[in-house]
Copies of this chain bind each other. A is one copy, B any other.
Amino acid sequence: MINRNDIKAVTKSIVLGGCFVFINGFGTILGQTSTPSDSAVIRSIYDEVLTNGEAYENLRVLTKTIGHRLSGSPEADQAMEWGAELLRNYGADHVYVMPVVVPSWTRGDIANASVEMSSGEKFDLHITALGGSIETPDNAPISAEIIVVKHLSDLDTMPKRKTKGKIVLFNRAMDPVLINTGSAYGGANDQRGQGAIYASKAGAIGALVRSLTHSLDTLPHTGAMYYSEDVTQIPAAAISTVDARKLAKLYKTDPGLQVTFQMNCEALPDVEQGNVIGEWTGSEFPNEIITVGGHLDSWDIGEGAHDDGAGIVHTIEVLRTLKAIGYKPRRTIRFVLFINEENGNRGGIKYAEIAASELAKDEHVYVAAMESDAGGFSPRGFSMDATDTLVDIVKSWKPLFEQYNIHRFKKGWSGVDIGPLKQLERRPLLIGLVPDGQRYFDFHHSTSDVFENVHKRELELGAATMASMIMLIDKYIPAP
């Protein structure tokens, strides 16, 4: 399996990499740069995943037999059982659920919207409730003139008589010139998260939000929205980009544009579910923890295939693959299927709370946490939220990944679920897988986030890249 090119690549890595030596909490030298055998191990990881990979079939089962799985739903319960069983089957030493109380919300079976022009002409909109929205009063339609704005702050400068009793459409598009589509999403999602708050403060009776996607199509994309305690709750929904563009255009010539929409979504009582955890005990430093995970919950339309079925099967495939090649971890690797990333992050918060208390009692040290929550596309590299020292160690491994077309090793965002670990007193390396992001928001939070839109080899390459990085982290990253 190993050829001369591998050896060459590693030799280069050693020359380029310099030498990082650290003394970890247990007096052991860690953190030296990689060795030629690391290159061979990485090759065997990619070979194993690309030849015998089970991530794609696991994703098929998750998406096609369970389907979408919003926190609090029976499907989320089923997914927890499915995940625990897989972790057991693949040989995790200890599989358990860390209980988390999660919100519960149901979309109901009514969501429709239409527009009437001053001329009397009417057409329907493609609409879906935003997650967390209240129903329209008495589940009946509401109608009002529409106000189209681009920014939350646009409402501050409008006289309240202009907005009172209206329905506000937030119509800011994701910026197409940003190469990082996640940045374009981040630059537009205040409309979805806080649109209802701003619209309610302006006296509006409802909020519509342009779907967060680059794609010009008729698919509405859901996602979390929130109310603040100081506002009257008003219903909020997403409409497709084609509809939003059409409405914004009509609005310029027909300010009397009337919108009607109706939804019967509903908040339900909180439910106890949890993070599903599989542990593989470390042979040398069992109380040093490396976390790798994605989130098990998804939005309640589509199948949550890229978001974040991909991250879940990536995580499980790291376990399967490292076992298959006979790897023996030095630290304990924890495979975590987080709950409730989509509408609360209570799983990630609970995990970090427990980590902090264990750390305070010297029970565990959290060395690193890796997340996959950006889809199952061709991997491009990693984004790290960590000290410069740790980032530099990871960057020194770049030559090992060159032949796998993994080039991106940068500081930046790691992941929602592992984010709260940043607050730990002894701060772990937080690292997120970065897949190619150009197609992600076509599917994200919509009915098209289905298994058929995930590519087998792209998914597998992500898993192999993660497993390789986990192996290097296990061997070389010093405990904080």
Contacts and interface: CB of A to CB of B under 8 A. Distances in A.
A458 B440 CA distance: 12
A176 interface: yes
A50 interface: yes
A408 B405 contact: yes
A47 interface: yes
A35 interface: no
B461 A50 contact: no
Contacts of A214: 456-457
Given A179-B405, A378-B378, 12 more contacts: A46-B177, A50-B177, A179-B403, A179-B404, A214-B456, A378-B438, A405-B436, A436-B436, A438-B457, A438-B458, A439-B457, A442-B455
A119 interface: no
A389 interface: no
A380 interface: yes
A89 interface: no
A407 interface: yes
A60 B215 CA distance: 16
A46 B408 contact: no
Contacts of A438: 378, 455, 457-458, 461
B455 A176 contact: no
Q: Which 9 residue pairs across A and B have the least CB separation, nearest first?
A: A407-B407, A50-B176, A438-B457, A47-B177, A378-B436, A50-B177, A438-B458, A378-B438, A179-B404
A405 B380 contact: yes
Interface of A: 46-47, 50-51, 176-177, 179, 181, 214-215, 378, 380, 403-405, 407-408, 436, 438-439, 442, 455-458, 461
A378 B440 CA distance: 12
Contacts of A442: 455
A48 to B, nearest CB: 9
Contacts of A456: 214-215
Q: In the complex this chain forms, how many copies of it are found?
A: 2
A457 B458 CA distance: 18
Contacts of A407: 407-408
A51 B176 contact: yes
B405 A177 contact: no
A403 B408 CA distance: 10
A439 B461 contact: no
Contacts of A436: 378, 405, 436
A51 B179 contact: no
A468 to B, nearest CB: 12
23 contacts: A46-B177, A46-B179, A47-B177, A50-B176, A51-B176, A51-B177, A176-B457, A179-B404, A179-B461, A181-B457, A214-B457, A215-B456, A378-B378, A378-B436, A378-B438, A380-B405, A405-B436, A407-B407, A407-B408, A438-B455, A438-B457, A438-B458, A438-B461
Nearest to A407: B407
A99 B47 CA distance: 48
Nearest to A441: B457
A456 to B, nearest CB: 8
A380 to B, nearest CB: 6
A439 B453 CA distance: 11
A442 B456 CA distance: 11
Contacts of A408: 405, 407
A436 B215 CA distance: 20
Contacts of A181: 457
A214 B456 CA distance: 10
Contacts of A176: 50-51, 457
Contacts of A457: 176, 181, 214, 438-439
